[in-house]
């Protein structure tokens, strides 16, 4: 199914995810520094509201992410996240799976990482979609508050 809504999030993650050399210069996403993470996710019913990676029964999930320049935060890295699919807690799980949980994440981060911020440092920075009646392409941006 074609994604009708384009979203870009910004987050502060623990540590420093590695920068990867673009795989194919002809691939625009790769050339712009985007990296892919794809994992099968499933609601973790006994531990609701959590979700989990489940290789046997999980549904496909896909996020593109890249490091982002911005104010330096000691011990952390700013990242941009572009969800291709929209699973519950997908962005949080994907960053945790990379070993770089989002600061302030009370569900998935360690207590130490959670305590590094007073709230979850994940922000929907950009939202774009076609107006349902006019089909005009609409774009909304909101400054990141952290």
Each residue's pLDDT tens digit, 117-129: 999 999 999 999 9
User: How confident is the model at residue 110, as a pLDDT?
Assistant: 98
Predicted pLDDT at 24: 47
Domain contains 45: no
Which range of residues forms the domain containing residue 84? 5-37+63-141
Residue 24 lies in a domain: yes
**27-77, pLDDT tens digit by residue?**
556 778 999 999 999 999 999 999 999 999 999 999 999 999 877 889 999
- List CB contacts of 64: < 8 A, sequence separation 6 or more: 29, 34, 35, 36, 81, 82, 84
Q: How many structural domains does the chain have?
A: 1
pLDDT in tens, 7-28: 999 999 999 998 765 454 445 5
Within-domain flag for 105: yes
Tens of pLDDT, residue by residue over 87-114, are 999 999 999 999 999 999 999 999 999 9
In-domain check, residue 75:
yes
131 part of a folded domain: yes
Cα gap 103→115, rounded to integer Å:
8
Decide if 55 is inside a domain.
Answer: no
**Residue 68 within any structural domain of the chain:** yes
CA distance 107 to 49: 8
Within-domain flag for 111: yes
Q: What is the CATH number of the domain that holds 26?
A: 3.30.2350.10
pTM of the prediction?
0.88
């Amino acid at each position: 199914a074609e994604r009708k809504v384009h979203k870009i999030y910004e987050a502060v993650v623990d540590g420093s995810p590695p920068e990867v050399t673009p795989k194919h210069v002809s691939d625009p996403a790769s050339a712009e520094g985007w990296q892919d993470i794809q994992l099968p996710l499933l609601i973790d019913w006994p531990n609701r509201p959590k979700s989990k990676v489940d290789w046997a029964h999980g549904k496909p999930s896909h996020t593109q992410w890249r490091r982002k320049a911005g104010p330096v935060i000691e011990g952390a890295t700013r990242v941009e996240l572009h969800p291709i699919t929209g699973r519950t807690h997908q962005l949080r799980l994907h960053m945790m799976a990379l070993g770089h949980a989002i600061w302030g994440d009370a569900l998935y981060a360690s207590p130490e990482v959670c305590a590094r911020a007073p709230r979850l440092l994940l922000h929907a920075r950009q939202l774009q979609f076609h107006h349902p009646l006019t089909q005009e392409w609409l774009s909304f941006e909101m400054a990141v508050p952290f």
